[in-house]
Amino acid sequence: MKFLGIDPGYARLGWGIIEVTGNRATFVDAGVFETSAQQSEGERLHRLYNFLQKLFESHPITHAGLEQVFLRRDLTTGIKLSEARGVVVMSLFQAGISYSEISPSAMKKSITGSGSAQKKTVQLMTAKLLNLPVQMKIDDAADGLGLAFCAWLRWQGMGVLRKRGK
């Protein structure tokens, strides 16, 4: 089973995929998808949509973990982030992929034991949990992997595997 984690963003979207066999999670892929400020709003959202479609075609995803949006002081940035997140939610729905919404503090607590952990600590623990030789260099990709790991933990806790007969 493959679990996808998505740290949504308008300019940068972080993502990570893990594969779970039994009670062991292993790294599959991770990265950051970026759009340019020189592109129109519609073009940026369309490129994000196309990227997600290709990602879903490349990896049969069982479930996803999507970071919850929290609005900052800059309302314009929050609106753009929400638009990008809307593209992600629609893409997951179209692909038939269920997802869990995960707050940043819940992800940090699941990975490190502390909901107020620093990003570096999350990166180090995510690398350790997935037996990666080197921690992820890009925060957003490491967050994507952490969200994928949390999605797996939530999937187990909800008993979805039993309901589906697996």
The whole-number pLDDT of residue 162 equals 32
How many domains in the chain? 1
Q: What is the CA radius of gyration of the chain?
A: 15
Place of tokens 């995960």: 102
Q: What is the pLDDT of residue 135?
A: 63
Q: What is the pTM of this model?
A: 0.89
Within-domain flag for 83: yes
For 56-105, what is each residue's pLDDT tens digit? 999 999 999 999 987 667 777 788 889 999 999 999 999 999 999 999 99
Whether 166 maps to a domain, the answer reads no
pLDDT surpasses 70 at 1: yes
**Residue 78 domain-assigned (yes or no):** yes
| pLDDT score at 158 | 52
Question: Whole domain around residue 70: which residue ranges?
Answer: 2-159
User: Which residues participate in catalysis according to the annotation?
Assistant: 7, 67, 140
Q: Is pLDDT above 60 for 160?
A: no
Helices 119-129 and 139-158 pack at an angle, to 10 degrees, of: 60
CATH code for position 151: 3.30.420.10
